[in-house]
């Protein structure tokens, strides 16, 4: 019997993956394209396969592994047609995620780590390095001098050096998010040690017979690189180049292949696996709206790893490590316990579904308060993706359900920092669970209304309707529970405001769903009369009639008819009752909430 190929989730060691015959997407053909750029900077969101990519490059170019080429690359594209450069380099590799994120320890940790990498390098290549270099480096106490000795002594050795830096901005990004701009600037401006490191690296690429002839740097955003640019200005940012749009990530054919394989081996419906992976992890486009759509590599593997290990459909689709990554940047939208301009950008994204700005390819941390820069940062972090382009500006949208939930959670997290609403988010969750079972909706609507009122009271009411919309959506998403919270989606030829779509693949026992039509009267206008409220409600009913008659919605939500479990194929799943709710706000005050 054929053994099912394992999934080594979280493993970025290419040799280990190949040895285990684990699931692997072959992107090695891109190595030929990469050779066209000697000093490359490649940026992608967290957990997008960058570390595995650096491991592949190390295995391919390192002279240390030259005699294991067939072991590593048999059956791959580059294995069948390698370049002349393979196995020709001494590789000096750094992974700056190993550096401490504590401000008080970061410089010492960085120096210690760089020193350890230099020591490991000379020990690894002791037999081919210039005479006495290994001993000299090992005896040198200072990391800067260790690196300088390697660079200077290799200059005339005839040996070529390939420097790989993974997660170049990892610790810097954490310090920026958690400790603020001042602490961050100490790293990257003036005579900061991080800036000095890149200046030394640049020096090693300069002059006749420079030792560093190739360089590959990965990271998340261009912020840190821009801040150290006066010390390092030789790298070419290839992140937006069309040929590298799918250098990492799962394309649709990759998602189809992995869905078909594990469906057959684990007893699942392949189409459901494919649709779920696309809905939750896909639709990132890098560089342009016409770029191929790719899915988040590591999170896709997390999903299929669960399928492979348990033979069950997961109830939680968001990888906890990714949730932790994005929780760290909540501090970028508050300042001194006050909501800042960045918060309003995020709020408009949640309320409107998209943002339009110029895509900034580089900017400094001190410029993050500018709307266009923070909007671009959301793209580089993977919170948004490119959905359109027009007249030099880019339209950004949230790519998938995972990021819709994580982005929306930043809003109540910021509310919590300023207004302390944590406990009531749990009350909303309780209310949603009660609604799913019994159809009782007044509990969660009451909590939502009270938070909207409090938040509205301390906000600029010029964009009052957006404040109410984004607050409702963000709180519902943040509360979790058994529903997909959908906003401004098409149904019946129109676009509903908010839907609580039952997650039947996870909880087939859900008995109730909801369409919510929200109407808004400006805070500065007189309170609506009973007659006006009746007219508003009548208009809402017409719209809800249109949405709730949509055949696709009825079928997908099992409205009124027994269905089949999307996960297991079990028949006889109970029908779902659809509740149609009308909420009318006068400013931040909910003046009408009824089921119609």
Residue of 199, 197, 225 whose CA lies nearest to 99: 197
556, 550 Cβ separation under 8 angstroms: no
Name residues whose C-beta falls within 8 Å of residue 534's C-beta, 6 or more positions apart in sequence.
none
Q: Which two tokens stand for residue 333?
A: 């939208």
487-537: pLDDT as tens digits:
888 999 999 999 999 988 778 889 999 999 999 999 889 999 999 999 999
Distance CA 337, CA 334 (A): 6
Tokens of residue 242, six digits: 């069309």
Q: How many C-beta neighbours within 10 Å does residue 569 have? A: 11
Helices then strands, each counted (H, E), the chain: 24, 17
Query: What is the SS3 assignment for 559?
Result: strand
Measuring CA to CA, which residue among 476, 490, 499 is closest to residue 559? 499
pLDDT at 230 (0 to 100): 56
Tokens of 274: 């494919």
Measure the CA–CA gap between 374 and 376, rounded to whole angstroms. Answer: 5
Q: Please, what is the angle between helix 341-352 and helix 401-419, to 10°?
A: 140
In the block, tokens 């006749």 appear at 208
The order of strands in the sheet holding 512-521 is 483-491, 494-502, 512-521, 577-586, 589-595
| Domain 26-244 CATH class label | alpha beta
Q: How many angstroms separate the CA atoms of 277 and 4, rounded?
A: 20
Dist CA 432 CA 440 (whole Å): 9
pLDDT at 13: 96
- Token couple for 182: 């001042």
Structure tokens at 144: 């800067």
Q: How far apart are CA 26 and CA 77, in angstroms?
A: 7
Q: What is the pLDDT of residue 163?
A: 97
Tokens of 101: 């994120």
Strands 236-237 and 39-43: parallel
What angle, 0 to 180 degrees and rounded to 10, lies between the N-to-C axes of helices 252-266 and 270-281? 140
The pLDDT assigned to 567 comes to: 47
- Domain limits of the chain? 26-244, 421-596
Q: Which residues of the chain have pLDDT under 50?
A: 1, 231, 336, 566-568
3-state secondary structure of 108: helix
Q: What's the whole-model pTM score?
A: 0.83
What is the pLDDT, as a whole number, of residue 564? 56
Rg, Å, the chain Cα set:
27
Residue ranges in 125-222 assigned as alpha helix (H) = 133-139, 143-154, 170-179, 181-188, 193-203
Strand pairing report for 393-397 and 589-595: unpaired
pLDDT at 140: 92
How do beta strands 212-219 and 160-166 pair? parallel
Return all residues near 311 (Cβ < 8 A) that are at least 6 apart.
Answer: 266, 267
The 10 Å Cβ neighbour count of residue 139 is 9
Alpha-helix residue ranges (DSSP H) falling in 170-269 = 170-179, 181-188, 193-203, 223-227, 252-266
237 within 8 A of 272, measured Cβ to Cβ? no
pLDDT tens across 18-74, in order? 999 999 999 999 999 999 999 999 999 998 999 999 999 999 999 999 999 999 999
Sort residue 83 into left (φ over 0), alpha (ψ -120 to 50) or beta.
Answer: beta
The residues with which 490 forms a beta bridge, in sequence order, are 495
Write phi, then psi, for 526 (nearest 5 degrees).
-60, 150
Backbone angles phi, psi at 367, to 5 degrees: -100, 10
Residue 265: closest CA among 571, 1, 24, 16: 1
Write down the pLDDT at residue 352.
73
How far is the C-alpha of 115 from the C-alpha of 135, rounded, in Å? 14
């Amino acid at each position: 019997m054929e053994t099912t190929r394992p999934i080594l989730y979280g493993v970025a060691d290419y040799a280990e993956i190949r040895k285990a015959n684990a699931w692997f997407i072959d992107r090695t053909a891109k190595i030929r394209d990469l050779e066209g750029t000697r000093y490359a900077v490649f940026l992608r969101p967290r957990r997008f396969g960058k570390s595995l990519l650096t491991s592949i490059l190390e295995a391919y170019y390192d002279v240390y592994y030259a005699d294991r080429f067939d072991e590593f690359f048999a059956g791959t594209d580059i294995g069948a047609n390698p370049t002349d450069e393979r196995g020709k380099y001494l590789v000096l590799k750094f992974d700056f995620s190993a550096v401490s994120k504590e401000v008080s320890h970061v410089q010492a940790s960085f120096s210690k780590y760089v020193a350890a990498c230099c020591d490991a390098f000379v020990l690894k290549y002791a037999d081919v390095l210039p005479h006495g270099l290994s001993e000299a480096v090992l005896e040198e106490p200072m990391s800067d001098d260790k690196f300088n000795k390697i660079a200077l002594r290799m200059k005339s050795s005839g040996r070529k050096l390939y420097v790989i830096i993974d997660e170049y901005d990892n610790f810097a990004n954490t310090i920026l998010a958690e400790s603020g701009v001042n602490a961050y600037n100490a790293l990257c401006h003036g005579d900061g040690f991080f800036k000095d490191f890149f200046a030394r690296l640049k020096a090693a690429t300069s002059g006749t017979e420079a030792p560093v002839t190739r360089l590959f740097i990965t990271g998340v955003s261009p912020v840190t690189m821009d801040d150290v640019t006066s010390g390092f200005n030789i790298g070419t940012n290839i992140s937006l180049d069309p040929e590298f749009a799918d250098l990492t990530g799962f394309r649709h054919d990759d998602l189809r292949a992995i869905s078909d394989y594990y469906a057959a081996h684990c007893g699942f419906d392949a189409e459901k696996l494919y649709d779920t992976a696309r809905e939750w992890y896909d639709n990132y486009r890098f560089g342009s709206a016409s770029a191929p759509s790719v899915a988040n590599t590591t999170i896709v593997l997390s999903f299929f790893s669960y399928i492979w290990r348990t033979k069950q459909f997961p109830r939680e689709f968001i990888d906890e490590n990714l949730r932790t990554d994005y929780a760290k940047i909540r501090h970028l939208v508050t300042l001194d316990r006050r909501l800042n301009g960045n918060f309003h950008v995020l709020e408009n994204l949640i309320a409107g579904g998209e943002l339009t700005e110029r895509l900034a390819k580089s900017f400094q941390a001190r410029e993050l308060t500018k709307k266009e820069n923070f909007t671009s940062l959301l793209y580089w972090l993977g919170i948004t993706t490119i959905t359109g382009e027009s007249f030099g500006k880019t339209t950004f949208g949230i790519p998938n359900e995972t990021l819709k939930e994580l982005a929306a959670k930043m809003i109540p997290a910021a509310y919590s920092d300023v207004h302390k609403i944590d406990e009531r988010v749990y009350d909303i969750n309780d209310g949603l669970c009660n609604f799913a079972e019994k159809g009782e909706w007044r509990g969660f609507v009451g909590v939502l209304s009270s938070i909207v009122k409090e938040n509205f009271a301390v906000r600029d009411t010029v964009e009052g309707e957006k404040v109410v919309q984004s607050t409702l959506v963000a709180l519902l998403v943040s509360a979790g529970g058994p529903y997909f919270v959908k906003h401004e989606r098409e149904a019946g030829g129109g676009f509903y405001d908010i839907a609580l779509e039952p997650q039947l693949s996870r909880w087939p026992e859900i008995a109730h769903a909801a369409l919510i039509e929200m109407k808004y009267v400006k805070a500065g206008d007189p309170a609506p009369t009973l007659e006006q409220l009746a007219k508003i409600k009548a208009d809402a009913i017409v719209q809800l009639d249109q949405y709730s008659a949509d055949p696709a919605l009825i079928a997908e939500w099992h409205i009124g008819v027994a269905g089949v479990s999307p996960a297991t194929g079990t028949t006889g799943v109970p029908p779902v009752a659809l509740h149609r709710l009308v909420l009318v706000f006068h400013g931040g005050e909910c003046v009408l909430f009824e089921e119609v």
